[in-house]
């Protein structure tokens, strides 16, 4: 049965995924609140119909704010999302991604929030020793502090459910791409390549380019968030396509779509990166009725079109 949430709080609601979630709930005529410190999010992503608070989830005022808002539903999308940054500075990553989640949980407990939907990571949590696609039954073995923090957050959410009775769903996303994705240092490879091709700037592929990821379009991910909030499900669910795409394949697809003539250049590989990743999302279909709708080719075209309008 579908729930109608009157008040929805989105942490990280000025970010790539968070801002699309905000748009979806505005369309559903919910009262939407955004908490974002704009360290990664952008004002230009903010929906004018949402109530915005520029604040860190680690702020001493955050719990009081949530208590004042009294949201029914919290979508926790605020994060330090750069895997390489997490490797260089694990403490900084843990402060935002672990202590930040604990701050959100405590605020939800105080405000009697009905449900938390958490944006976790499928790409950074599963082991590099097994063959993808990974199901939720595969034991997590993150090799980056970012992945460790996402897994720790899932466990803290389970604690909050068992001890305080706050239902949650942790959605383990594959590699999400689409309009508004940052193409700076924290951006996804697809966004970075697309922007560089459109500006005719050289591209260096890390390693041999055979490393694979599972790419899921942002509108499909937003649908998963809404379904996870509405269904009585509690726990962890993968959101992906189950298909592996190599970095080389991404480069070639983008080259075709943008008409770029840039050569394929390779550089050294990066530490802390998983070699292969794809997610088995059959549980999402069984428990949420979710499956991806946007094909990779269509998603790439939509993403490139968006970047073109802004270049």
The residue to which tokens 């944006």 are assigned: 119
Dihedral (Cα; 128, 134, 139, 142), 10-degree rounding: 40
**Distance in angstroms (rounded) separating the CA atoms of residues 166 and 156:** 11
The terminus-to-terminus CA distance of the chain in angstroms comes to 43
Question: How would DSSP label each residue in the chain?
Answer: -----SEEEEETTTSHHHHHHHHHHHHTT-EEEEEE-SSS--GGGS-TTSEEEE--TTSTTHHHHHHHH--SEEEE------HHHHHH-HHHHHIIIIIHHHHHHHHHHHTT-SEEEEEEESTTTS-TTSPSSBPTTSPP---SHHHHHHHHHHHHHHHHHHHH---EEEEEE-EEESTT---STTS-HHHHHHHHHHTT---EEETTS--EE-EEEHHHHHHHHHHHHHS---EEEEES-S--EEHHHHHHHHHHHHT-----EEE---TT--S---B--HHHHHHH-----S-HHHHHHHHHHHHHHH-
Provide the pairing of β-strand 51-54 with 168-173. Answer: unpaired
Report the C-alpha gap between 291 and 220 in whole angstroms. Answer: 8
Annotated active-site residue 285? The verdict is no
The catalytic residue among 126, 146, 168, 177 is: 146
Active site residues: 146
């Amino acid at each position: 049965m579908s729930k109608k949430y009157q008040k929805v709080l989105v942490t990280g609601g000025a970010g790539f995924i968070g801002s699309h979630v905000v748009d979806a709930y505005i369309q559903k005529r919910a009262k939407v609140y955004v908490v974002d410190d704009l360290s990664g999010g952008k004002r230009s992503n903010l929906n004018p119909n949402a109530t915005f608070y520029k604040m860190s989830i680690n702020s001493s005022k955050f719990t009081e704010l949530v208590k004042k808002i009294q949201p029914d539903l919290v979508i926790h999308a605020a994060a330090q999302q750069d895997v390489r940054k997490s490797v260089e500075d694990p403490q900084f990553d843990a402060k935002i991604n672990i202590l930040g989640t604990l701050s959100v949980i405590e605020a939800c407990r105080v405000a009697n929030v009905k449900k938390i939907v958490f944006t976790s990571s499928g790409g950074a949590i599963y082991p590099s020793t097994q063959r993808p696609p990974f199901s939720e039954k595969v034991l997590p073995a993150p090799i980056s502090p970012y992945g460790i923090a996402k897994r720790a957050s899932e466990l803290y959410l389970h604690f909050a459910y068992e001890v305080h009775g706050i239902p949650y769903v942790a959605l383990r996303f594959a590699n999400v791409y689409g309009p508004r994705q940052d193409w700076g240092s924290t951006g996804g490879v697809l966004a970075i390549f697309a922007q560089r091709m459109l500006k005719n700037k050289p591209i260096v592929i890390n390693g041999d380019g055979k490393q694979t990821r599972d790419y899921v379009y942002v509108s499909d991910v937003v649908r998963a968030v809404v379904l996870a909030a509405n269904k009585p499900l509690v726990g962890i669910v993968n959101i992906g396509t189950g298909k592996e795409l190599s970095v080389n394949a991404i480069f070639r697809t983008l080259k075709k779509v943008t008409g770029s003539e840039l050569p394929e250049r390779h550089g050294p590989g990066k530490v802390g990166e998983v070699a292969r990743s794809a997610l088995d999302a059959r549980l999402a279909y069984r428990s949420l009725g979710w499956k991806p709708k946007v094909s990779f080719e269509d998603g790439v075209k939509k993403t490139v079109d968006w970047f073109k309008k802004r270049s």
